[in-house]
Structure 1
Amino acid sequence: MTRMIKCIASLALVHGLVACSGPQAPKATATTFKWVSSPPLILPQPDPDQTIYAVKDPSIVYVNGKYHVFMTTAGSSGWGLAYTSFDKWSEASSAKIIPLDKSPMGPGYRAAPQVFYFAPRKAWYLIYQGADPLYSTSNDMSDPASWTAPKPLFPTLPDIIKRPQGNGWLDFWVICDDRKCYLFNTDDHGRLLRSETGIDRFPNGFHNTVAVLNEKTEDLFEASNTYRIANTQTYITLVEAMSPKGRYFRIWKSNGLDGNWEPFSSTPMNTFASSENVEQLWSDGISHGELIRTNADQTMTIDPCRPLEYLFQGNDPAVRVSEYIKLPYRLGVIAAKGENPVSALCR
């Protein structure tokens, strides 16, 4: 009964769009994931300065009873970052989306944000991509004008990124344990890369950039996101892949951020979420997104005892456009149904 009450309470966050399933299989046998999708919840809004084609690449935290979402906007003037907030999902579509280019962050190419509170410095950090990984800070993330001018995370480009060893980098993700902070990123060519620095040196000192996963381009593409599972020694990482049936996410686990990664689902290609295991899906797949975390800090912790919720970007499979920037991405939420490899770790 207690577990059912928790399930109902958590899923109610997704605006009552899903219901708890019936009797659950034993946790030890949970080796796959199943989901149900909300409709699109965050959509492009009119902008007096340009045409906004899409909102995408969301990063989300839930703090003091409010959702805070940072995202990429794709428009006729290029790529930028924006912010919105709301109390509940039923308010998401009407919540104002505020561009961040009027802040000291300034205009220019900005994309793929990640937001978190860095507790050692008592400040909010926004990690994002320019040509290379950048960051801005704020003492009040709910104030769009408060973000500082961009600073680079690396003084020089690591050799593994340069040709002929590499093909660039994108979609940067920071997560820290008690000793170190790690930066993960993909390169659109089948590699998941990891850099590190001491937690006392962050955001400076990133070095030792190495490939921790290396597969075919289509099987390990972009948009990695990594989390700690609360009350365990387990970490998970998700990476977007491509298939003839659309974008989807694969999942791996490790016993440490500096450890080896192994598949964490028994399905082919260790699938986390795809068009084949998400009910009521309005999109041609599951693309760049983020789990809704237990807390907002640098540990990127999720609670295995609460049903997983994943904010993702999707687009209408019937829409065909000539330019990538015009793909009509919108943001929606998928919520886990029943047991899965993460919920099996609930103690």
Structure 2
Amino acid sequence: MSLLRHLPSRRSRLAVAVVVPLAAVSALTAVVTPASAAAECSVAHAAPARWQGDSNSTPCTEGVSTTTTTAPRQAAGSLPSSFRWSSSGILISPKPDATHPNVAVKDPSVVYHNGRYHVFASTYTDGYNLMYTSFADWSQASSATHHYLDRTAIGGGYKAAPQVFYFAPQRLWYLIYQTGSNASYSTNRDIANPQGWSAPKNFYADGMPKIIQDNIGDGYWVDFWNICDSAKCYLFSSDDNGHLYRSETSLSQFPNGFTNTVIAMQDADRYRLFEAANLYKIRGSGQYLLIHEAIGSDGRRWFRSWTAPAITGPWTALADTEDNPFARANNVTFPDGAWTRDISHGEVVRTNVDQTMEISPCNLRYLYQGLDPGADGEYNRLPWRLGLLTQTNSTC
């Protein structure tokens, strides 16, 4: 999620974006380490509502009030080298009330748990804060209640770009978000209870790491993303200036102790590695998937992708060009009409909800923010809405 107060407008960004050739190569900074197994304690496998899973209890869900739903095993598969998608229409729009005259809903994070989708997102009026909504089926998304999290212990003030996951070692749900000067988090025993979130705490005791200060330029420190293997947790962030950063801590220390911040990936063209990184473990493959938002030569948002044998890399391009993107308007069909040409900040619907961030390589779905193609003006006031991409060329 960008804060483009000092960056060029959408139309002037187009002129800048075409200066650097699209063939510019990302310079990667990564350390090769063996891929780690998923943490032993894993909960709440996120089966789509149409799947018939087995309801079961698990020792990892102590403190979670209901049973979890486990998806049946699918045949092994792999990600394709090119992607094709079909998009829903607008599923989630702002729901203004007397104290939240919102103009946008954006930056969604989603998990499927106990028969319901749980969606967290940014809202914008004159500033950013967070909302939560929940529903059993995507057909119910537009009518589901919006809970504004500034009415909880999370409180008011700038909060944006959430990520939600269950941290199995502590049996706690974590909600991570940006607060402008730091990455912050709140915890909850029950994801379905919006009043259960704790007051914010910061990840970085000393604020922005020096390596970010030295490289951020006129960008912004945004879009924090946590993923863990069996030994460590890694916190990623972007700077709207062509850099993806990675910090680390031990699994036993999480959420404390994040240090050793490095540049995990960089691009000389800031718009080709802009913001909104997602990183997932690909089930059954020993591989990880990284997707990262870019601003294209047409000024529209889209996603690039890479794979690696470990969270720390090295990263190999999968679908990372405008002609062969992970997700862009040119590889998405809109059966109900093209309501957006931007495919922007979102999240894959995962196969589990825990800190390993595991996804199936089969039949991907991606909840994203889109925008009326005719909308223009100051970035933070653009009327973003949420829709769902469904992969149409799965190999399994």
TM range (shorter): 0.7 to 0.9
Q: Confirm whether residue 213 of structure 1 aligns to residue 268 of structure 2.
A: no
- The one-letter code matched in structure 1 to 2:212 is I
Aligned residues: 317
Identify the residue that residue 326 of structure 2 maps to in structure 1: 272
Q: CA 1:315–1:29 in structure 2 vs 1: closer, same or farther (change >3 Å)?
A: closer
What CA distance in whole angstroms lies between the structure 1 residues aligned with 2:136 and 2:354? 20
- 1:231 is displaced (CA, Å) by 1.3
Unaligned runs of 5+ in 1: 1-8, 14-26
In structure 1, the partner of 2:292 is 239
Residue of structure 2 in register with 1:111 after alignment: 160
CA displacement 1:227-260 (0-9 Å, x = unmatched): 0001121000110000133100000111001221
Distance 2:113 2:339 in 1: 28
Given that 1:52 and 1:74 are in contact with CA atoms closer than 8 Å, whether structure 2 keeps it comes out as: yes
Equivalents in 1 of 2:340, 2:223: separation in Å?
Answer: 21
Give 1:223's match in structure 2, choosing from 276, 294, 297: 276
Distance 1:101 1:320 in 2: 28
Q: Which residue does the alignment assign to 1:333?
A: 388
Cα separation, 1, equivalents of 2:385 and 2:278? 19
Letter in 2 for 1:153: F
Q: How does 1:148-297 map to 2 (within 5 A)?
A: 148-156=198-206, 157-163=208-214, 167-215=219-267, 216-245=269-298, 246-265=300-319, 268=322, 271-280=325-334, 281-297=338-354
Contact 2:303 2:320 in 1 (8 A): no
> Which 4+ stretches in 1 moved above 6 angstroms?
none
Aligned counterpart for 1:308 among listed residues 354, 359, 364 = 364
Task: Give the counterpart letter for 1:162 in structure 2.
Answer: Q
- Aligned counterpart, 2:94: 44
Give the structure with the higher percent strand: 1
Pair 208,83 (structure 1): closer, same or farther in 2 beyond 3 Å: same
The answer to whether the 8 A contact 2:264-2:312 is kept is: no
Partner SS state of residue 162, structure 1: helix
Aligned residue number for residue 101 of structure 1: 150
Q: Percent identity of the aligned residues?
A: 48
**In structure 1, how many angstroms separate the alpha carbons of the residues matched to 2:79 and 2:156?**
50
Question: SS where residue 223 of structure 1 aligns?
Answer: strand
The aligned residue for residue 82 of structure 2 is: 32
2:263 maps to a residue whose letter is A
Kindly indicate whether the alpha-carbon contact (under 8 Å) linking 2:244 and 2:265 is maintained by their aligned counterparts in 1: yes
Query: Does the 8 Å CA contact 1:162/1:168 hold for their aligned counterparts?
Result: no
Give the aligned CA root-mean-square deviation in angstroms. Answer: 1.9
- CA distance change for structure 1 residues 30 and 73 in 2, over 3 Å: closer, same or farther? closer
8 Å Cα contact 1:124-1:137 kept in structure 2 = yes
Deviations 1:313-336 (A, max 9, x none): 001011223x22210000000000
Rounded to whole Å, the distance in 2 between the matches of 1:164 and 1:273 is: 28
- Rounded to whole Å, the distance in 2 between the matches of 1:319 and 1:285 is 11
Whether contact under 8 Å (2:49, 2:136) holds in the other structure is no
Q: Secondary structure at the match of 1:101?
A: helix
**Is 1:42–1:332's contact at 8 Å kept on the other side of the alignment?**
yes
Equivalent residues of 1:192, 1:212 under 8 A apart: yes
Please state how far the C-alpha of 1:73 moved relative to its aligned partner. 0.3
- 1:41-97 CA-to-partner distances (Å, cap 9, x unmatched) read 000012111321000000000001100000000113x11001000000110000011
Q: Which piece of structure 1 moves more, 279-288 or 294-303?
A: 279-288
For structure 2, the residue ranges without an aligned partner over 5 or more in a row are 1-46, 52-76
- How many Å separate the matches in 1 of 2:304 and 2:291? 6
